[in-house]
Amino acid sequence: MAPRENLSARCALILKQYLLTDRVKPGDRLPPERRLAEALNVSRTVLREAINQLVGEGLVRREPSRSPTVADFDRARVAREMSTISVGTEIQDLIELRVLLELGAIDVIVKRATEADLQEMERWVVEGERRAAAAEPLALPEVRFHAALLRTLGNRSIDGLMPLVEEHMRSNLLVDPHGLAGLITANDQRAISEHRQIFEAVKRGDASAARELMLAHLSGYLHPERKYEAERADGAS
């Protein structure tokens, strides 16, 4: 797992990307701390460290007894700084790891899933559906659902790779931070629906269907430029 100081810096970078979006104006309050921490899948301590970094850089203002607010900073300068950060190759590497790991494991997952495993999967399917309906952050149920699938294997080495899935989620937010604002797109709804379909296939022991559904679910990340174009179009409609 990444050291905490690196994780807080990573979160500060994602928050900078969020501050540059058209929907954020000087004087706006940051989203609630709980929402940000869950969307970034970090503790509130790490989140506060990230916000403190932004305060130090003059991007966010913190006043006593008030939520942090967006400062009137030089957006053009920060945008130039952010444009020098390349995340495309990094995200693609994480995607390939997920595809190889989860597709390679799905047949064994179907064979080994116990009633307790199925209950844990369904717990996060239902929670994802609830959050999507309530426009709440989806990062937690997304990560926990995939964790429940992989923990069915009972393989500690694979369990140790779960931080890679979490970092993949954060990398997605760096490309498009709409989830920080509590926005739910058609792609988000589709992903949650696919969780339900994958779970049902595993529950009935249909490895072939589970493999096809998992491939469709993960392939949405294989061409991120199309995914985010679709999300922007959905948000503009």
- Give the per-residue pLDDT at 96: 77
CATH assignment, 4-83: 1.10.10.10
Whether 180 and 18 have beta carbons less than 8 Å apart is answered as yes
With bands split at pLDDT 50, 70 and 90, how would you rate the model's confidence at 228? very low
39-56 pLDDT tens trace: 888 899 999 999 999 999
Tell me the C-alpha distance between 77 and 90, whole Å. 24
pLDDT of residue 35 exceeding 80, the answer is yes
Domain boundaries, the chain: 4-83, 88-236
Q: How far apart are CA 92 and CA 224, in angstroms?
A: 9
Helix (H, G, I), strand (E, B) or coil at 25: coil
**Single pTM value for the model:** 0.73
Q: What is the CATH number of domain 88-236?
A: 1.20.120.530
Mean per-residue pLDDT over the chain, rounded: 84
Highest mean pLDDT: which of 8-12, 39-43, 167-171, 204-208? Answer: 204-208
What is the C-alpha to C-alpha distance for residues 38 and 34, in angstroms, rounded to an integer?
6
Q: State the maximum Cα–Cα separation within the chain, in Å, rounded to a whole number.
A: 57
Sign of the torsion angle spanned by Cα atoms 184, 138, 206, 95: positive
Strand locations in the chain (E): 60-61, 69-70
pLDDT of residue 55: 95
**Distance, CA of 142 to CA of 165 (rounded, Å):** 10
**Environment class of 170 (CB within 10 Å of its CB; exposed 0-12, middle 13-18, buried 19+):** buried
Q: What is the mean pLDDT of residues 88-107?
A: 77
Calculate mean pLDDT across residues 76-88: 79
pLDDT digits (tens, 9 = 90+) for 114-168: 999 999 999 999 999 999 998 887 888 988 999 899 999 988 888 777 777 777 6
